[in-house]
Structure 1
Amino acid sequence: MTWTPHATVAVVVEDDQGRFLMVEEISGGKIVFNQPAGHVEKDEPILAAARREALEETGWQVEPEYFLGLYTFTAPANGVTYYRLCFAARALARQSSELDSDIIRAHWLSLEEVRERGPSLRSPLVLKCIEDYLEGRRYPLDVIVEA
């Protein structure tokens, strides 16, 4: 059996009221909450993937400003290991109300509202990324090198 890691991107976007851009989506037949996130497509630059996923899942144009870190998670449901490259991004403008088919809606949620959804967070990384962001974790985007 060939092991194939899954490269994903996610963005933590905070508004001026301290709320975070989140998506309510269907995954594995359940409703879950996540940051705007998804797979990097073939030949797609990582930052472009972060911008694209946010736009497709929330309708918001965002601009990554910092790299928060590389997070790994092995999903118990399927045994797949996901490598999540997470970014802090700034919301620029709402561009569309059309969202990916598995997205129910986009929300702006406070930290407490995210915590209250604990059992329905897509993975433990959702809250971990926000907490790392709030603790001041920031790396310059040039730590990502693509050749």
Structure 2
Amino acid sequence: MNRPLHTVIVSVVVRDEEGRLLLIKHPHRGWELPQGHVEQGEDLFAAASREVLEESGYEVEVVRLIAIFSKLSPEPSSIIFGLAARLAGGEATTSEESLEVGWFDQELALDMPEHSVNRNRLQKLLAPQQGVGYYSYSMSPFEYVQEHRI
């Protein structure tokens, strides 16, 4: 029996002591939050900390789940966990996945993502909210299918 598979991804909102947001410049997608795949058997918070460190050089402590995004189409379908993290140390370092690393005030950060999905995800993650947001969307064209607070 073939079972459909979802890719599991973490997307991490990190703020510094001044309230600025950490963004990385991906070589293909442009500016975005640190994010990446959860490896098999890896805890979500551990994956978030690892991805931020690999892409930015910063150590973080994950503090809470903000939202869950379900990408329905096209393949591969994905589940993206949006997490908030607190800066714990380190210094800016680039990688193959991050051409640049920077801290930006929220207003500027909201305008920086070039990819519409990443820009919209950042808006959802930064919006004032109670509870955890759940969003399912498709890509052809990009549109939300469901939006809930849980």
User: TM-score band (shorter)?
Assistant: 0.7 to 0.9
1:127 deviates by 2.5
Question: 1:87 and 2:88 equivalent?
Answer: no
Q: Report the more deviating stretch, 82-91 or 112-121.
A: 112-121
Aligned to 1:67: 65
* Separation in 2, partners of 1:83, 1:44: 15
Deviation at 1:2, TM superposition (A): 5.8
Deviation at 1:95, TM superposition (A): 5.0
> Deviations along 1:13-72, whole A, 9 cap, x unmatched?
112322101111123xxx422111100001111111011001001100000011112112
Mean alpha-carbon deviation: is it higher for 112-121 or for 7-16? 112-121
Instruction: Name the residue aligned to 1:142.
Output: none
Matches within 5 A, 1:99-114: 99-114=94-109
| Residue deviations 1:3-22 (CA, integer Å, cap 9, x gap) | 32110112111123221011
Q: Which amino acid aligns with 2:22?
A: L
Q: Tell me which of 45, 48, 62 is aligned to 2:46.
A: 48
Structure 1: how far apart are the matches of 2:33 and 2:68? 15
Identity level (%): 24
Q: TM-score, normalised by structure 2?
A: 0.74
Counterpart Cα distance in 2 of 1:93 and 1:118: 25
Quick one: which amino acid aligns to residue 18 of structure 2?
Q
Q: Do the aligned partners of 1:114 and 1:127 also contact (CA within 8 Å) in 2?
A: no
Which structure shows the bigger proportion of residues in strand conformation? Answer: 2
Give the equivalent residue in structure 2 for 1:143.
none
Structure 1 runs of 4+ with >6 Å offset: none
Equivalent in the alignment of 2:125: 129
Question: How far apart are 1:74 and its partner, in Å?
Answer: 4.5
Aligned-residue Cα RMSD (Å) equals: 2.3
- 5+ long unaligned stretches in structure 1: 140-147
- Residue 111 of structure 1: how far off its partner (Å): 1.5
* Cα separation, 2, equivalents of 1:37 and 1:122: 13
Q: How far apart, in 2, do the equivalents of 1:109 and 1:74 lie?
A: 31
Output the CA distance in 1 between the equivalents of 2:84 and 2:124: 13
> What residue is the counterpart of 2:23 in the other structure?
22
8 A contact 1:47–1:64 mirrored in 2 = yes
Q: 1:118 to 1:39 in 2, by over 3 A?
A: closer
For structure 2, which runs of at least 5 residues remain unmatched after alignment? 133-150
Scaled by the length of structure 1, the TM-score of the pair is: 0.75
